[in-house]
Structure 1
Amino acid sequence: MTTMSLPLVSTCSVDGCSYNHDHDCHAGAITVTGSSSACGTYVHTDAKGGADSTATVGACHRTDCVHNSALECTAHDVEVGPGADVADCLTFSAR
């Protein structure tokens, strides 16, 4: 999988994240972490950061997700929002 084919973060509804600009994630890439599908890239601060482009999913640690293949996300795109944690991958779907 090349960086050009990594899934985009189609929307982020997490308020207060440095990378969230008008519900569009501007991190270079996010990491979805372990047991709760949390966005490991979430940073709570008023300072705005990130790139000019929309984030992709760089890595996914949820091996029990149907979209996970070799720790990479194969979904077309993902949504990030409040879930079990303040910022979770809402596209997660158990195998």
Structure 2
Amino acid sequence: MSTITAVKSCATTSCAYNDGGCTAFAVTIAGTDSATCATFITLDARGGLPVAHGQVGACQRLECMHNSNLMCGAEGIDISDTAACTSYEVR
């Protein structure tokens, strides 16, 4: 894998890293019941990069078809308003 997967969109407006898109340098996709953004945090502040260029740093969902060596190989991912990775697909 030679590229890092971009967070194309994030609808979780209550996340401190969502400021017109994902401003986290890198997010982790995890979750026990469903694939969710483990970087999600609700705070009374906005943080991260000055621009929305978030990317997937790690994927802990081994059964996802896009997971290769704990990295996301999808072209890009979308995060729903409930912090779910909507690009997640079971192998």
TM surpasses 0.5: yes
Q: TM-score, normalised by structure 1?
A: 0.87
Q: Which residue of 2 aligns with 1:38?
A: 36
Q: TM-score, normalised by structure 2?
A: 0.90
CA RMSD of aligned residues (A): 1.2
Runs of 4+ in 1 over 4 A off after TM superposition: none
Aligned length in residues: 89
Matches within 5 A, 1:42-53: 42-53=40-51
Instruction: Give me the whole-angstrom Cα distance separating, in 1, the residues matched to 2:59 and 2:84.
Output: 12
Give the fraction of aligned pairs with identical amino acids, expressed as a percent.
37
Aligned partners of 1:11 and 1:79 also within 8 Å: yes
Q: Which residue of 1 aligns with 2:88?
A: 92
Task: Point out the structure with the larger strand share.
Answer: 1
Q: What amino acid is the match of 2:85? A: C
Which ranges in structure 2 are unaligned for 5 or more consecutive residues? none
Which ranges in structure 1 are unaligned for 5 or more consecutive residues? none
Deviation at 1:34, TM superposition (A): 3.5
Q: What amino acid is the match of 2:69? A: A
